[in-house]
Amino acid sequence: MQIITTVAALRDALAALRRAGKSVGFVPTMGYLHIGHLTLVGRARAENDATIVSIFVNPLQFGANEDLAKYPRDLARDSALLEAAGVDLLFAPEAAEMYPRPMATIVDVPALGSQLEGEVRPGHFAGVATVVTKLFNLVQPQRAYFGEKDYQQVTLIKRMVEDLAQPVAVIAVPTVREADGLACSSRNVYLSPAERAAAVIVPKTLAEAERLHAAGCTDPAEMEAHLRRFIATEPLAVPEVVAVRHPETLEPVTSLRVGPALVALFVRIGTTRLLDNRVIGRADTLGAQAA
């Protein structure tokens, strides 16, 4: 596996891949890898000749009071995992390489990025859309892989790619979970043992949404209120976003009778925000279990 930290070296390596006629699958990440990331890598490897992973903790998508400085990092461990997973190239630039000057250009998808997580993290999705566009321009992959755990993110990126005619296929991969249902996430490392035990309320709330739907609940407002009360049964959990939305537009829906709906959760446990979601009324998004 080649480890590359500069744009110039990346361009040289890509030119060689292109000369060899190889298709490229791309997995953008912020590192501190887990089985969820490696599942995206597995999909990329299965569907492309060459697999490129990026590790970049993107300052543009962090608010002033967020965890940019303390975001977990372990490049040596990540490199070993990616090498073992058969990745061809790891692109791990410093911030000064990605942003040699302050960005004068921002990509934003406000219709999809200003709500849900965007309400709690203003500007976050403009930072994501901007860095993903730049990474796509640098790597020029045929396919790019994103996790459904970050449902709003992959929905927004799909729309950005469509609107801007970016020449890449965006593939959403089902959420990989721990044995108790908690979605694998780099930020899980912040949880104390008591908080980790409490965090199971998040997947349980999604199961509760599915149960309510199966029991005939068709009113989104009623479901949201019920799910907030359900989360409140866990004293360590603070619900920040509990929303039933249209799975593509992310707009509020008036009834659950008309088709599948997204249940989006953003729950704070201590100081850690956990994100999870499920599309209810659809059989194929229940998520794979971690091995």
Ligand X SMILES: CC(C)(CO)[C@@H](O)C(=O)[O-]
Q: Which is nearer to ligand ATP, 30 or 201 (CB)?
A: 30
In this structure, is the dihedral angle defined by the CA atoms of residues 24, 30, 31 and 37, taken in order, positive or negative?
Answer: negative
Instruction: Give the nearest distance from C-beta 132 to ligand X in angstroms.
Output: 5
Q: What residue 131 binds from ligand BAL, ligand ATP, ligand X, none (CB within 5 to 8 A, per partner kind)?
A: ligand X
Q: Is residue 37 annotated as part of the catalytic site, yes or no? A: yes
The 10 Å Cβ neighbour count of residue 111 is 13
Q: Does 112 bind ligand X (CB under 6 A)?
A: no
Minimum CB distance to ligand BAL, residue 127 (Å): 8
Helix or strand holding residue 229 (H, E) = helix 220-232
CA pair distance 71, 31, nearest whole angstrom: 9
Is 148 annotated as a binding-site member?
Answer: yes
Task: For tokens 């979605």, name the residue.
Answer: 183
Q: Which pair of tokens denotes residue 219?
A: 């009113």
| CA-based end-to-end distance of the chain | 25
150 binds ligand BAL (CB under 6 A): yes
Least separation in angstroms between residue 258's CB and ligand ATP is: 27
User: Counting contacts by CB under 6 A, is residue 155 touching ligand BAL?
Assistant: no
Closer Cβ to ligand X, 42 or 260, answer by number:
42
Q: What share of the chain is helix, strand, coil (3-state, %, to 5)?
A: 40, 20, 35
Residues that bind ligand X (CB under 6 A): 28-30, 58, 61, 128, 131-132, 150, 153
Annotated binding site for ATP: 30-37, 147-150, 176, 184-187
